[in-house]
Amino acid sequence: MQEDVEQKTLMLIVNGSKFTGRLLKAAITKYMAYRKEVKLEKQRKREMPVAHRGKQTVKQLTQQNQGVSNIDIQDKEIRQFERIARKYGVDYAVKKDRSTSPPKYMIFFKGRDADAITAAFQEYMGRKLRRETRTSVLERLEQYKDMARNTVEKVRKKVLER
């Protein structure tokens, strides 16, 4: 009886060690496969160039080999145009030409984005014209002050009746 229990205990220990050995081997092989996959993923990322979107440098824009066109803008408020270009999803690059007295900006964009850039430029010019034709808030405030001064005030009588 005692010998039978000892033999069963010994078999349990041997089987347990075999089980943990197999489990350890499986875990190591899975880890090695994972590391190999990570290494391959890094190699794929290095080989595949990153496609830039939105505002870029001229060099990044020309590296995409899709032809480059440009528009000249002599306005100082270039940020407004950049906001509209982002809205239209245009890939563009801004280059400042300091050789002229008020500096002008050259907007470079891809050839295939020509329709989108013309729409963005039209919206930009429309907003610019609207801003120029609009009167300033201070001028309107002065007009309202003058109107308030020129209106006849009602005379109020304060009489206490008892």
Domain boundaries, the chain: 1-48, 55-147
Cα–Cα distance, 106 to 94 (Å, whole number):
6
What the block records as the tokens of 150 is: 């020129």
CB atoms within 10 A of CB 62: 15
Please state the pTM of the whole predicted model. 0.51
Q: Rg of the chain over CA atoms, in angstroms?
A: 38
Query: What is the pLDDT tens value at each position of the chain, 162 positions in all?
Result: 778 877 878 787 877 777 777 888 888 999 999 999 999 999 888 877 667 777 888 888 888 877 888 888 887 778 888 888 888 888 888 888 888 888 888 888 887 778 888 888 899 889 888 888 888 889 999 998 888 888 867 667 777 777
| CATH code at 55-147 | 3.30.1370
